[in-house]
Amino acid sequence: MTTSNGRRSFPGMGMTKGLWVTLSTMFKTIFLPNKHLLTVNYPKEKETPVPRARGVIALDQEACTVCMLCARQCPDWCIYIEGHKEEQAPAEPGGRIKVRAELDRFDIDYALCMYCGICVEVCPFDALFWSPEYEFSEEHMGDMLHDKERLQGWLATVPDAPGLEK
């Protein structure tokens, strides 16, 4: 008998190999759990997230210019932005009055967010970042709406940007 890849084989050889795989895996996992166990005992042990893990989105309020690009690109419409314009004193007396956009509200509803990352991609002023933190579940769905202070808090957990590829 020949197998699909052209090698000669006994009838039932494949079944025997399959049985051997499960049996040897079982004994390896029982006797050498440190090496062969692929799962982690989650609440007690934690895995280190990979460098570009998409856990939660962090906001740098200083960089945000209330341009609304992220809110408009968001497929779920889960970003809520409100702002107002503030007049600043001219640089020298008699000069033109400067206008600056101030952020009043920047909320992301993580009950709706699908972690696509389009807002992070689209932000022209690098105000949004991916943070690898993933433990922010809540008992009530309403609490999944993170306000701008909470989003600012995630900023501390953002890892440094990896070096540019040569």
Partner 1 sequence: MPDFVIDLFDNFWVALGGKLALVALMIPLIGMAIGFAEMKLSAKMQHRVGPYFAGGRWGWAQLIADGVKFFQKEDLIPEEADRPVFKIAPIFVLMGTVALFVVIPFGPGLIFRDLSVGVFYALAISSISTIGILMAGWSSANKYSLMGGLRAAGQLIAYELPLVLAVVGSIILAGTMSMSGIVEAQIDAGYPYVIFQVVGFAVFMIASLAELSRIPFDMPIAESELVMGYLTEYTGFRFLFFFLAEFANMFTLSAIAVTLFLGGYWLPGIPADTLEFAGPVILLGKVFILVFVMIWFRWTFPRFREDQLQTLAWKWLIPIALANIMITATLKVFL
Tell me which residues touch partner 1 (CB under 8 A). Answer: 15, 18-19, 21-23, 25-26, 29-30, 33, 36-39, 41
Place of tokens 């952020």: 103
Q: How far is the CB of 18 from partner 1 (least distance, A)?
A: 5
CB-wise, 20 or 77, nearer to partner 1? 20
Side-chain-side CA neighbours of residue 117 (13 Å) = 10
Closest CA to 135 of 43, 51, 52: 43
Place of tokens 């419409």: 77
CB-wise, 12 or 94, nearer to partner 1? 12
Side-chain-side CA neighbours of residue 81 (13 Å) = 21
Q: How far is the CB of 158 from partner 1 (least distance, A)?
A: 33
CB-wise, 22 or 88, nearer to partner 1? 22
Q: How far is the CB of 8 from partner 1 (least distance, A)?
A: 23
Distance of alpha carbon 111 from its chain centroid, rounded? 14
Q: How far is the CB of 144 from partner 1 (least distance, A)?
A: 26
CB-wise, 38 or 156, nearer to partner 1? 38
Distance of alpha carbon 74 from its chain centroid, rounded? 15
